Amino acid sequence: MLLRSSGVVELKNKSLQQCETLDFHVFFNDLLDNDFNTLFKSLPSPRRYFAAAVPGSFYEQLFPKASLHLANSSYALHWLSKVPKEVGDHNSLAWNNSKTYCSGTNKEVTEPYFAQFRKDLNRFLNARVEELKAGGLLVIQLPDCVPSGALPFNTGAGFLQELLGLCLFEMAYLGFISQEKVHSFNLPMYFPSIEELDQVIKANGHFRDERIKILDHPMQHLPFDAKMNRPDLSVRASSKIISKQTLWIRCSIYLLRNLKRIAQSLIKKFAKMLTYLFC
Amino acid sequence: MLLRSSGVVELKNKSLQQCETLDFHVFFNDLLDNDFNTLFKSLPSPRRYFAAAVPGSFYEQLFPKASLHLANSSYALHWLSKVPKEVGDHNSLAWNNSKTYCSGTNKEVTEPYFAQFRKDLNRFLNARVEELKAGGLLVIQLPDCVPSGALPFNTGAGFLQELLGLCLFEMAYLGFISQEKVHSFNLPMYFPSIEELDQVIKANGHFRDERIKILDHPMQHLPFDAKMNRPDLSVRASSKIISKQTLWIRCSIYLLRNLKRIAQSLIKKFAKMLTYLFC
């Protein structure tokens, strides 16, 4: 939870009664190619807030100056605007040879990934500071921020990406896909440590950390879903969240839209591996 | 142009220079089943305003209290929320026997149509007055408001509906469709006179008329489009605006989505009739 540096919001002084007389105007933002029609149809009706949608990249200013009291980014900022060029270049020291994500095990790879994350987060913060009122709040929810000293490789998300990479390399070995393609494939995703997050926010200077908290995920109780192997790649809803032995596993299959040709086999293989390991 | 009664906006004092430093936040509203995805993709990029979409009926409050400076309703309020029940009931005095729209030639039919228009416009005004700031402006653009003493029957829109009705009755005569169906079909559309509009607004009491103006239509120069007979019923864009001898003709074919089975024949017949008359 970040506070715009130029003021303080006296949230605590608002009684529940006062809140009931307030109008809440909620704006949902996503990229232009999001399905806003489905978003609108999925909103509850009647609802206790006014809803609107805003298309566009959150790296740009999306609202008039000083017009928002609260901005919330949920499970979005770990997606990078692009994969750092050098990690896919086998002539570079940063070539992400046998991985398809930023595992944190190779410093040469981690550096450009973190540089891209820093650049993206800065653009995000610079856009939000324009839109927020003085004293406005910015809430950022990120999955799998690694604890100090740990590597993304050791987290639930990292474990999942590791498995996904293994599946891809196995499929390349079996001839379903070229090794070159697998080597050139890297997820545009970075899970920063809390320290890295704090460092970028401090260097940006527009916000100050108000509170950092590790949250329980509302879907933590859901069992592993064996139906995961259906080849539904079209929507974000195809992402499944499963839990076993306190390990978070998030299936980011929809990212593989770029690999449609092999996606069905890959998903089956991936689901089989998960079932074998956890069921 | 209507002014919220509780204050005055000093628009004239705003210089162009001041306007250039202002942020404009534009909200596009339509019913939930509108295609907002296409709307967003059709917006210019880059643009000099911030855009958002708001789903829902404009008979309800769609924005927080006193949050808007200007509300604009363009070519929408002549559509009624429903056809008055009695005009489709052949046991009623208000039965709209040989017409498929409110021509104004039968007082018994006009009355329930106007009553529905008054009710709808009141709901619209009551919702907008909540949303507008004190002194905020409400702009209503309506097509073919009939001049004092004239009937909708004598306007371009009326003429068009008349032709459409004739086509339908001819098709019923030829056996393409049952006479019953044509008799039960009435357009949920009312073109009020300026006096009627003024009367409803005054009785509502929340706004006062600031200015009433007859506008030139930006598509007035377009020639008659002979391609109109293509059976494109799916989108509002299928509505064509054509001009000949200063007569406005608006093709409201898309309303006939309810008559899909016969729509193609009807559109061809309708286009032929227009071509015969004006080309």
The band of A4, judged by pLDDT with boundaries at 50, 70 and 90, is low
Distance between CA atoms of residues A103 and A113, nearest Å? 10
**Is the pLDDT reported for residue A209 higher than 80?**
yes
Query: What pLDDT does A240 receive?
Result: 30
Least confidently predicted of A105-114, A145-154, B5-14, B40-49? B5-14
Do residues A54 and A25 make contact, with C-beta atoms less than 8 angstroms apart? no
CB-nearest to B62 from A35, A50, A55 is A50
pLDDT score recorded for residue A98: 85
Instruction: For residue B184, name the pLDDT band (cuts at 50, 70, 90).
Output: confident
B61-73, pLDDT tens digit by residue?
999 999 999 999 9
Position A18 scores a pLDDT of 62
If you average pLDDT over residues A155-165, what whole number do you get? 78
Identify the pLDDT of residue B53: 98
pLDDT of residue B194: 86
What percentage of chain B exceeds 70 in pLDDT?
A: 71
B86 has a pLDDT exceeding 70: yes
Burial B48-78 (b: 16+ CB within 10 A, else e): eebbbbbbbebeebbbeebbbeebebeeebb
AA letter at A125: L
pLDDT (0 to 100) of residue B26: 98
Query: How confident is the model over A66-85, as a mean pLDDT?
Result: 95
Higher pLDDT: A194 or A259? It is A194
From the CA of B40, how many Å to the nearest CA of chain A?
A: 7
Which pLDDT belongs to residue A178?
85
**Bigger pLDDT: B88 vs B55:** B55
pLDDT cut 70: percent of chain A above it: 71
Q: Could you report the per-residue pLDDT of B193-234, keeping only the tens digit for each?
A: 888 999 999 999 999 888 888 776 655 554 444 343 333 222
* Nearest chain B residue to A48, by CA: B64
What distance in Å separates residue B24's CA from the closest CA in chain A?
7
Contacting residues of A for B60, CB less than 8 Å apart: none
Q: What are phi and psi of A122, to 5 degrees?
A: -60, -45
Across the interface, whether the CB atoms of A40 and B36 are under 8 A apart is answered yes
What's the 3-state SS for B240-257? CEEEECCEEEECCHHHHH
Q: What is the mean pLDDT of residues B77-105?
A: 92
Instruction: Tell me: pLDDT of B253 over 50.
Output: no
Q: State whether B50 and A63 contact (CB < 8 Å).
A: yes
Q: Taking the model in full, what pTM does it have?
A: 0.78
CB A139 within 8 A of CB A71: yes
Closest CA of chain A from B279, distance in Å:
41
Q: What is the pLDDT of residue B167?
A: 83
Of B143, B84, B145, the C-alpha closest to B110 is B84
A52 and B53 within 8 Å at the Cβ level: the answer is: yes
Query: Do residues A243 and A220 touch, judged by C-beta distance below 8 A?
Result: yes
pLDDT at B146 (0 to 100): 72
Q: What is the pLDDT of residue A152?
A: 77
CA angle A89, A112, A145 (to 5 degrees): 125
The answer for residues whose C-beta is within 8 angstroms of residue B268's C-beta and 6 or more apart is B229
A204 token code pair: 């940006």
Q: Which tens digits make up the pLDDT trace of A129-138?
A: 999 999 999 9
Highest-scoring range by mean pLDDT, A39-43, A262-266, B160-164: A39-43
pLDDT, chain B, mean: 78
**Per-residue CA distances from A255 to A169, A170, B43 (Å):** 17, 19, 27
Q: Is the pLDDT of residue B77 over 80?
A: yes
Tell me the percentage of chain B whose pLDDT exceeds 90: 44
At residue B165, the pLDDT reads 86
Q: Alpha carbon A173 to chain centroid distance? A: 30
C-beta neighbour count of A65 within 10 angstroms: 15
pLDDT digits (tens, 9 = 90+) for A162-192: 888 888 888 888 887 888 888 888 999 998 8
Look at A50 and B35 and tell me if their CB atoms are within 8 Å.
no
The label of the residue with tokens 């506070």 reads A3
Measured between CA atoms, how close is A234 to chain B, in angstroms? 16
CA distance A253 to A266: 9
Mean pLDDT, residues A198-221: 81
Whether residue B278 contacts residue B163, with contact meaning beta carbons closer than 8 Å, is answered with: no
Mean pLDDT, rounded, for A30-57: 96
Residue B201 and residue A140: Cα distance in Å, rounded?
Answer: 47
Pick B37's closest partner by Cβ from A27, A35, A54: A35
In chain A, % of residues over pLDDT 90: 44
Among A234-248, B11-25, B158-172, B182-196, the minimum mean pLDDT is found in A234-248
Cα gap B241→B69, rounded to integer Å: 31
Task: For chain A, give the mean pLDDT.
Answer: 78
Which residues in chain A are closer than 8 Å to B54, comparing Cβ atoms? 50-52
Give the pLDDT of residue A278: 57
**What ipTM was predicted for this assembly?**
0.76
Q: Say what the pLDDT of residue A252 is.
A: 36
Task: Return the number of other C-beta atoms located less than 10 Å from residue B182's C-beta.
Answer: 20
Report yes or no: A232 and A215 within 8 Å, Cβ to Cβ. Answer: no
Alpha carbons B101 and B104: distance in angstroms, whole number:
9
With CB atoms and an 8 Å threshold, state whether A52 touches B27.
Answer: yes
> Which CA distances in Å does B181 have to B86, B100, B261?
15, 11, 12
pLDDT at A119: 98
Task: Annotate B208-240 with DSSP letters as a single string.
Answer: EE----PPPPTTTTPPP-GGGGS---SSGGG--
Closest among A196, A189, A205, A181 to A148, alpha carbons compared: A196
pLDDT of residue A143: 80
Confidence at residue A165, expressed as pLDDT on a 0 to 100 scale: 86
Assign A226 a pLDDT band (cuts: 50, 70, 90).
very low
**Residue range A93-117, pLDDT digits in tens:** 999 988 889 988 899 999 999 999 9
Radius of gyration of chain A (CA): 20
Cross-chain CB nearest to A55 (options B40, B54, B67): B40
